[in-house]
């Protein structure tokens, strides 16, 4: 084991607690895995291979990143081809409009198409992917251009390798000329690290045998010109301030084959850590406070589960047992709630008086947390005070924003979750229909031996009646 790897593993062990053997196996993996395995790693797939829970895998990768063993690599995935459109400045640099030149498709970031992957740090083990200008694009183009979570059929991988014609590195503000003899068919130029593509037709009746392309930030223009068969000159002008590696190839799938291969060409993705699941992770919020979302407009999630709690009768408790003892119990109850939230993969967004707001990527872990909270808070108050928690949950679309240098959430989903909590009684969990009918929710309710009753409630600021289930 290298000294750089050994010293960081030792630091990781000294700062955080892991189950026996977890770090030993992690160190062996980082030392022996192939370069491809260490590029855009998924903590979910690593966890499955090592017999860890997904939560353990995410926490391990986040903590390893914090001490410089790993590095974040963020990307927005094209919904049509799973191209990995890298965002070097992480969440802050996410654009509301993204474009896949290969698919000629525009799309925005969403719950499922923000992939958070990890590379091993070059200070620990240097990969060829750390120096993109030196890559062999015949071998590495598909690895670089697409998500590592994408399952590529063998025939398509073979065709992709066979489509390679030439490659070159174009200096900043420089030019390069490809000269090739090309037959009549579709061809392309690509800068895979920038996910820039230009397709062009080679045909007998095209008016010219020379084409000029401008390589801009994330784009090659023009995108669909034509050139005459025979000896062809393709001149590429790099209009950026960085060296760019280009690849020239022939189109892998013909137009005639597209329909017959439609099912085989549809991307299949292995499990990966998405952006929604990361920002709702307690470890991420605590270790990476500087990471934030775009300052303008925030980041919209199609579905987020929001949980609110409140202590029943806390004002009376201060009066009954005194300020000092009551405040100590409130602090202890906050610590208990934080640990329960984190253990279910959620994050504590903020405290409001003696209330808590938390976020979860999915409804069922939030419901599991709620059942544990009501049980454990009663234990905290046993023998000192009669503590009872009121909990409310709702799931739906919301907007994540940066507020006072922290991640917060806004929208009607948040409002409804807060109002539903107000409906709950002592030691009661109030949930909406989307929570009650979520996959796995009934299993959680049965496991906690809870009884449910359904009612229609009028919630302040919400139009019409809302279906609410009380769980006791």
pLDDT (tens digit per residue) in 350-398: 998 889 999 999 999 999 999 999 999 888 766 666 778 999 999 999 9
Would the pLDDT of 71 be above 80?
yes
Is residue 277 within 8 A of residue 359, CB to CB? The reply is no
Contacts of 17-24 with C-beta under 8 Å, sequence gap 24+, read 18/60, 19/56, 22/50, 22/52, 22/56, 22/60
Residues in the chain: 472
Q: Residue 317: pLDDT above 80? A: no
pLDDT at 47: 97
> Is the pLDDT reported for residue 89 higher than 60?
no
- Please report the pLDDT score of residue 370 as a whole number: 97
What local confidence, expressed as pLDDT, does residue 294 receive?
A: 62
- What integer pLDDT is reported at residue 229 of this predicted model? 94
Sign of CA dihedral 106, 109, 112, 117: positive
Q: Nearest-CA neighbor of 304 among 424, 408, 455, 219? A: 408
pLDDT at 281: 93
pLDDT, position 416: 96
Q: What is the pLDDT of residue 354?
A: 87
- Gap between the Cα atoms of 401 and 404, Å rounded: 10
pLDDT for the residue 292? 63
User: How high is the pLDDT of residue 115?
Assistant: 93
Q: Give pLDDT, residue 384.
A: 60
Of 84-88, 125-129, 221-225, 417-421, least confident by mean pLDDT is 84-88
Residue 13: band (very low, low, confident or very high) from pLDDT cuts 50, 70, 90: very high
Lowest-pLDDT choice from 4-13, 92-101, 165-174:
92-101
Q: Residue 309 has what pLDDT?
A: 96
Tell me if 27 sits within 8 A of 33, measured CB to CB. Answer: no
Residue 90 pLDDT: 63
The Cα–Cα gap between 253 and 151 comes to 17
Q: What does the pLDDT read at residue 322?
A: 75
Ranking 108-117, 440-449, 461-470 by mean pLDDT, the lowest is: 108-117
pLDDT 10s digits, 132-162: 878 898 889 889 989 999 887 776 677 666 6
pLDDT band (50, 70, 90) for residue 253: low
Among 120-134, 244-258, 307-321, top mean pLDDT goes to 120-134
> How much of the chain, in percent, has pLDDT values that exceed 90?
59
pLDDT single digits (tens) 281-302: 999 988 987 666 665 667 888 8
Q: What is the pLDDT of residue 290?
A: 66
pLDDT at 81: 85
The whole-number pLDDT of residue 109 equals 81
């Amino acid at each position: 084991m290298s000294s750089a790897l050994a010293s960081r593993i030792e630091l990781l062990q000294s700062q955080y607690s892991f189950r026996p053997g977890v770090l030993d196996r992690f160190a062996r993996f980082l030392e022996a895995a192939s370069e491809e395995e260490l590029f855009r790693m998924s903590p979910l797939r690593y966890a499955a291979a090592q017999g860890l829970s997904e939560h353990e895998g995410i926490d391990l990768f986040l903590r390893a990143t914090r001490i410089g063993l790993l590095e974040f690599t963020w990307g927005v995935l094209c919904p049509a081809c799973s191209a990995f459109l890298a965002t070097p400045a992480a969440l802050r640099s996410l654009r509301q409009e993204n474009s896949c030149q290969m698919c000629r498709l525009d799309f925005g970031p969403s719950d499922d198409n923000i992939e958070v992957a990890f590379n091993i740090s070059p200070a620990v083990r240097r990969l060829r992917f750390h120096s993109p200008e030196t890559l062999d694009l015949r071998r590495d183009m598909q690895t670089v251009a697409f998500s590592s979570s994408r399952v590529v059929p063998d025939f398509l991988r073979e065709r992709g390798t066979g489509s390679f014609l030439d490659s070159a590195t174009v200096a900043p503000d420089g030019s390069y000329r490809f000269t090739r003899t090309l037959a009549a068919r579709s061809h392309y130029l690509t800068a895979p690290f920038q996910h820039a593509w230009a397709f062009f037709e080679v045909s007998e009746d095209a008016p010219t045998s020379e084409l000029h392309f401008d390589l801009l930030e994330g784009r090659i223009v023009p995108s669909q010109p034509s050139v005459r068969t025979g000896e062809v000159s393709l001149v590429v002008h790099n209009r950026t301030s960085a060296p760019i590696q280009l690849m020239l190839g022939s189109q892998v799938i013909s137009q005639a084959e597209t329909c017959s291969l439609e099912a085989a060409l549809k991307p299949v993705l292995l499990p990966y850590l998405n952006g929604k699941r990361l920002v709702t992770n307690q470890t991420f919020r605590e270790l990476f406070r500087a990471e934030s979302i775009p300052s303008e407009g925030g980041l919209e999630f199609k579905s987020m589960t929001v949980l609110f709690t409140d202590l029943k009768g806390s004002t009376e408790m201060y009066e009954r047992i005194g300020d000092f003892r009551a405040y100590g119990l409130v602090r202890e109850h906050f610590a208990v709630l934080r640990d329960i939230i984190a253990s279910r993969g959620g994050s504590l967004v903020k405290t409001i008086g003696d209330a808590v707001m938390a976020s979860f990527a999915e409804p069922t872990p939030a419901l599991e947390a709620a059942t544990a909270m009501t049980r454990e808070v009663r234990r905290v108050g046993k023998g000192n005070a009669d503590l009872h928690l009121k909990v409310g949950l709702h799931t739906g679309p919301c907007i994540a924003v940066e507020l006072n240098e922290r991640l917060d959430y806004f929208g009607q989903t948040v409002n409804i979750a807060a109002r539903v909590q107000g409906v709950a009684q002592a030691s009661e969990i109030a949930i909406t229909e989307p929570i009650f009918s979520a996959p796995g929710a009934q299993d959680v309710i049965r496991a906690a031996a809870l009884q449910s009753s359904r009612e229609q409630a009028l919630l302040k600021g919400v139009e019409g009646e809302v279906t609410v289930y009380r769980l006791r």
